[in-house]
Structure 1
């Protein structure tokens, strides 16, 4: 988020924000590497790692652009962004379906789908978007 904000809008971090990001990254690396920083040389990236990195870049761009969004109702913004995301994922869903992957039609699947649509897909983004509107993308990104 900080990198996109800097590149797109020239928003610079304070020294405290920079130190906070560095400490957070150091903590994540310590956990991932189990304290053995020499293991960093042996890490091999796979397709999933690259997919996650791409998703993080896209989310950072989304977050940095949020203050520049048109004035609209929060639910309208959620409908447009999730609708656009669904359209982008449609070819992959078709490929999975064509490959024989089918969701199980039961109450557990239905309940899981309802939960995912309401909480992480709608309410979390409504809260995050409100946080960006109140304190800006760089300060809201850790949350």
Structure 2
């Protein structure tokens, strides 16, 4: 997979998803008392499926290019639609959008690790140094500015859920560019997303069913929840995934992961505006460390 330089259109494509995903984190935090997290994830993708169906229904026909390659799209659906979003909504039950998105900014570290261990990617010493610098920023967030908390392992469950989700997203991004995509799917963004969504919907539905079977799941039906679900079903789901998939294919997963670090910045602004959760001093320092690590690792 050859990548190209970051053109203005590619920069735009990779900037839109962090903004929408920051909004997704804020909305997920707002409705955490109205709907169970795994149910929220499932309903989100039901809405996205309904929106994409008029555009991509031919991909579901028996003779389409999807079915000979169904295994790879089942994996993409599990990692990018089932696992990542489920972990994020679980994280937002006990952690703030700023914390969740900052922990998610450890993506370049996991991208380097998964690329080296599982996809044969070469990693330079500069990239390792930059990833470690970024990881210091993540550790600062996990410790809430008190390093001794790391020694005591006093992490909220949301932090651990988000780490698991970020690892899942790293695998998803590598699979995007290291697995063969049939031309009929690769060249049509709606078909490309639907190919993942048809399996991701099954994964997220199974997780939601498990939530109702073993936990105190709930849905408080009303206009606030309906509006929230409509937003996350259109923006962070369809629009953001469309932009991210195209941007990753153009720039490559390592370069694209840089733009994920815009998410905490957008989340801080939106949290202050809608949740009255202003950032703390360690959020700012952590953001500088994370971005500094990215600058170090990406310099030539």
Q: Would you call these one fold, judging by a TM-score over 0.5? A: yes
Deviation at 1:39, TM superposition (A): 2.0
Aligned to 1:91: 206
TM-score of the two chains, using structure 2 as the length reference: 0.42
The worse-fitting range, judged by mean Cα deviation, of 127-136 and 33-42 is 33-42
Alignment of structure 1 residues 126-141 onto 2, 5 Å: 126-141=242-257
Q: Which runs of 5+ in 1 are unaligned?
A: none
TM-score of the two chains, using structure 1 as the length reference: 0.81
Higher relative contact order (CA 8 A, sep 6+): 2
Residues 100 and 33 of structure 1: CA distance in aligned 2, closer, same or farther (over 3 Å): closer
Query: For 1:90 and 1:109, how far apart are their aligned partners in 2?
Result: 19
Deviation at 1:18, TM superposition (A): 2.2
Q: Give the counterpart of 2:167 among 41, 57, 63.
A: 57
The answer (yes or no) to whether the contact 2:142–2:155 under 8 Å persists in 1 is no
Deviation at 1:26, TM superposition (A): 0.6
Deviation at 1:131, TM superposition (A): 1.9
Residues 140 and 108 of structure 1: CA distance in aligned 2, closer, same or farther (over 3 Å): same
The worse-fitting range, judged by mean Cα deviation, of 67-76 and 18-27 is 67-76
Deviation at 1:91, TM superposition (A): 2.5
The worse-fitting range, judged by mean Cα deviation, of 89-98 and 54-63 is 89-98
Aligned to 2:195: 80
The worse-fitting range, judged by mean Cα deviation, of 111-120 and 9-18 is 9-18
| RMSD of Structure 2 on Structure 1 (CA) | 2.4
Deviation at 1:45, TM superposition (A): 5.9
Residues 46 and 84 of structure 1: CA distance in aligned 2, closer, same or farther (over 3 Å): farther
Residues 83 and 47 of structure 1: CA distance in aligned 2, closer, same or farther (over 3 Å): farther
